[in-house]
Amino acid sequence: MTIPLLNRTAETDAPVLDVLADRWSPRAYASDDAIDESQLASALEAARWAPSANNIQPWRFIVAHRGTEAHDRVHEALLGFNKVWAGDAAVLIVAVAETADAEGKPLPFAAYDLGQSVAHLSVQAHHDGLHVHQMGGFDRDGVRAAFGLDDRFEPLTVIALGPIGDPSALPEALQEREAAPRVRRPLADSLIAV
């Protein structure tokens, strides 16, 4: 049975940029389509130009194309159902926070800054017709070992990036997740009353 996709555009209570309303995180990626390298360059460039505390830019990216050993290594580290779907993505990117500088001084905004750079990447990618799905479900120590990361570098997410695929190719349970309505709690619940 194929489960129909509902409209994926967010129903926002106030107007937002189209790209923000339209961005969503699919699990169906086109397993035959390569990534357009200029679009990948633009996504990474958007990440590069994100703001960061003291402009330290405490982010690093391991960019692994499907069909390479690096992609296999990242895929191998994914946990649970992430392993089922994410291997089809044209590119898997490990988003790595530089949590301390080369002298060992902690960089307290590393995770914040990395997240912001990935947000920029995801918006640029969506604008260019690609899709992004971030994952926290992976074996951090496995990735650390697979790529020889120093202790001061912390892999925080794996990002599936590439052309979207046919959701009917997913296992049924994942099709249901793919088609579930996109929801957010009310904005008021995110505001601290003053």
Q: Write out the residues near ligand FMN by the rule CB under 6 A.
A: 24-25, 82, 134-137, 157, 182
**Of the two residues 37 and 171, which places its CB atom closer to ligand FMN in the complex?**
171
Structure tokens that stand for 150 in this block: 């120093």
Residue pair 121/60 in contact (Cβ under 8 Å)? The answer is: no
Minimum separation from the CB atom of position 82 to ligand FMN (A): 5
Minimum separation from the CB atom of position 26 to ligand FMN (A): 8
**Of the two residues 137 and 142, which places its CB atom closer to ligand FMN in the complex?**
137
Residue pair 34/90 in contact (Cβ under 8 Å)? The answer is: yes
The CB-nearest residue to ligand FMN is 137
| Long-range contacts of the stretch 180-189 (C-beta < 8 A, 24+) | 180/6, 181/6, 182/8, 182/10, 182/24, 184/10, 187/13
Cα 135 from Cα 157, distance rounded (Å): 5
Find the angle CA(79)-CA(97)-CA(42) to the nearest 5 degrees: 90
**Of the two residues 128 and 139, which places its CB atom closer to ligand FMN in the complex?**
139
**Of the two residues 12 and 101, which places its CB atom closer to ligand FMN in the complex?**
12
Minimum separation from the CB atom of position 32 to ligand FMN (A): 22
Minimum separation from the CB atom of position 25 to ligand FMN (A): 3
Residue pair 27/174 in contact (Cβ under 8 Å)? The answer is: yes
**Of the two residues 37 and 166, which places its CB atom closer to ligand FMN in the complex?**
166
Minimum separation from the CB atom of position 103 to ligand FMN (A): 29
